[in-house]
Amino acid sequence: MKEYVKLITDKGIGKIEFFHPQSNSLPANILNKLANTIKESGENTDIKVIVLQSGGERAFCAGASFDELLAINDVNSGKEFFSGFANVINAARKCPKFIIGRVQGKSVGGGVGMASATDYCFATKFSSVKLSELAIGIGPFVVGPAVEHKVGTSAYAAMTINATKWFDASWAREKGLYSEVFDSAKEMDTEIKKLASTLSESNPEAMRELKKIMWQGTDHWDDLLIERAKNSGKLVLSEFTKSAIDKFKNRS
């Protein structure tokens, strides 16, 4: 299957689904389309609540595309690539509608950031998480504020420092990344449908104001995340990082 981002609207619920054949990794075109689709869904009066999900069964999101990371050859292109993650996170936090996350499998790096940018996140027991950026010579600079906002400084630091460790779904729920965890995707989808249907009939103005409160103190992220993207763009040019990424790519 080819990569895609699609929006399906039904009875006030807007489902945004992304897919990439390489474990739902995130090249620049997918990131850009995701950010634009979230923004457009927030402006669509027919949509009352959004569900963010990925295609396939095994992985929610593998994070940054290794191919595109290796292709970065100057600071500006590096900043532009990592700004894609910044734009998705900022689009989600500024969206006036609640975003429900559907995480069916493992998430790495940018995928953890994406789950953190949702307002209420469902997951299966298979949905382990890992912030692997330090292991490839960078660091979770761009997604860091969203992850820390969701799980707190201590849990964010643990994932950042122990960059090769998979933290299981129970741990992620305990720290607040996931709101609910289920044994199967079928059980999860039943509960997602219930919550999304309830929210689709709730007061849009009340939900808009509540979301502002939940994300208060993040207005500076428009500038902060782009500055972080610039920092990552510099680090990805180092020989250490290029070599580390190449090893990870060949191992996977």
The 3-class secondary structure across 12-32, one letter per residue, is CEEEEEEECCCCCEECHHHHH
What distances in angstroms separate CA 89 from CA 75, 213, 227, one per listed residue? Answer: 21, 17, 14
Q: What pLDDT, on a 0 to 100 scale, did the predictor assign at position 246?
A: 82
Predicted local confidence at residue 252, as pLDDT: 56
CA 127 – CA 244 distance, rounded (Å): 25
Q: What is the pTM of this model?
A: 0.95
Residue 250 is predicted with a pLDDT of 74
Residue 56: CB atoms within 10 A of its CB come to 15
> Per residue of the chain (252 residues), what is the pLDDT tens digit?
899 999 999 999 999 999 999 999 999 999 999 999 999 999 999 999 999 999 999 899 999 988 899 899 999 999 999 999 999 999 999 999 999 999 999 999 999 999 999 999 999 999 999 999 999 999 999 999 999 999 999 999 999 999 999 999 999 999 999 999 999 999 999 999 999 999 999 999 999 999 999 999 999 999 999 999 999 999 999 999 988 888 877 775
How far is it, in rounded angstroms, from Cα 102 to Cα 120?
9
The residue with tokens 């069964």 is: 57
Asked if residue 50 lies in contact with residue 16, where contact means CB atoms within 8 angstroms, the answer is yes
Nearest Cα neighbor of 134 from 160, 115, 108 is: 160
Give pLDDT, residue 172. Answer: 98
Q: Measuring CA to CA, how many Å separate 17 from each of 26, 51, 56, 101, 225?
A: 13, 8, 10, 11, 24
Residue 96 one-letter amino acid = P
Q: How far apart are CA 1 and CA 45, in angstroms?
A: 32
Is the Cβ–Cβ distance between 208 and 49 less than 8 Å? no
The full set of domains in the chain, from first to last, is 4-185 (3.90.226.10)
